Amino acid sequence: MQARFRLDYPGFTLDVDLTLPDKGITALFGPSGSGKTTVLRCVAGLEHAVGGYLSVGEHVLQDDARGLFLPTHKRPLGVVFQEASLFAHLSVRKNLEYGMKRAGNARGEGFEAMLDLMGIRALLERDPERLSGGERQRVAIARALLTRPRLLLMDEPLAALDVRRKREILPYLEALREELDIPVLYVSHAPDEVAGLADHLVLIDGGRVTASGPLVETLARLDLGPAFADDAGAVLETTLAAIEADGLARLEFPGGQLFVAARARLVGSRLRCRIHARDVSLALAAHGDSSILNVLPAQVVALAEAETPGHVLVQLRLVPDGPSDGPPDGPLLLARITERSRQALGIAPGLNVVAQVKSVALL
Tell me, yes or no, whether 244 lies in a domain.
yes
Tell me, yes or no, whether 301 lies in a domain.
yes
12 & 160 share domain: yes
Q: Which helix (H) or strand (E) holds 216?
A: helix 215-219
Q: What pLDDT is attached to residue 328? A: 65
Domain count, the chain: 2
Tell me, yes or no, whether 228 lies in a domain.
no
54 & 112 share domain: yes
169 & 250 share domain: no
Q: What is the pLDDT of residues 188-241, one digit of tens each?
A: 988 888 998 999 999 999 999 999 999 999 999 998 877 888 888 999 999 999
217 & 260 share domain: no
Radius of gyration (C-alpha) of the chain in whole angstroms: 23
Tell me, yes or no, whether 256 lies in a domain.
yes
Q: Is 181 helix (H, G, I), strand (E, B) or coil?
A: coil
33 & 177 share domain: yes
CA angle in degrees (0–180, nearest 5) for 9-10-11: 105
118 & 242 share domain: no
Q: What is the pLDDT of residues 145-192, one digit of tens each?
A: 998 899 999 999 888 888 888 888 888 888 888 888 899 999 998 888
The CATH number for 258's domain is 2.40.50.100
Tell me, yes or no, whether 326 lies in a domain.
yes
Percent of the chain with pLDDT over 70: 95
Tell me, yes or no, whether 57 lies in a domain.
yes
Q: What is the pTM of this model?
A: 0.89
For the chain, the maximum distance between any two Cα atoms, rounded to a whole number of angstroms, is 70
Task: Quickly count: other Cβ atoms within 10 Å of residue 311's Cβ.
Answer: 18
Nearest alpha-carbon partner for 313 in 235, 240, 228, 250: 228
The CATH number for 104's domain is 3.40.50.300
Q: Alpha-carbon distance 281 to 283, whole Å?
A: 7
- Which residue, 204, 223, 242, sits at the end of a domain? 223
- Which residue, 223, 249, 269, sits at the end of a domain? 223
pLDDT per residue as tens, the chain (363 positions) = 999 999 999 999 999 999 999 999 999 999 889 999 999 999 999 999 888 999 998 999 999 999 999 999 899 999 998 887 889 899 999 999 988 887 776 666 789 999 999 999 999 999 999 999 899 999 999 999 998 899 999 999 888 888 888 888 888 888 888 888 899 999 998 888 899 899 999 999 999 999 999 999 999 999 887 788 888 899 999 999 999 988 889 999 987 899 988 877 788 888 888 899 999 999 999 887 888 889 999 999 999 988 888 999 999 999 876 555 556 678 999 999 999 999 999 999 999 999 999 866 555
Q: What φ, ψ does residue 183 adopt, rounded to 5°? A: -75, 150
- Which residue, 164, 192, 223, sits at the end of a domain? 223
Q: Which domain holds residue 91?
A: 2-223
Burial of 30 (C-beta count, 10 Å sphere; 0-12/13-18/19+)? buried
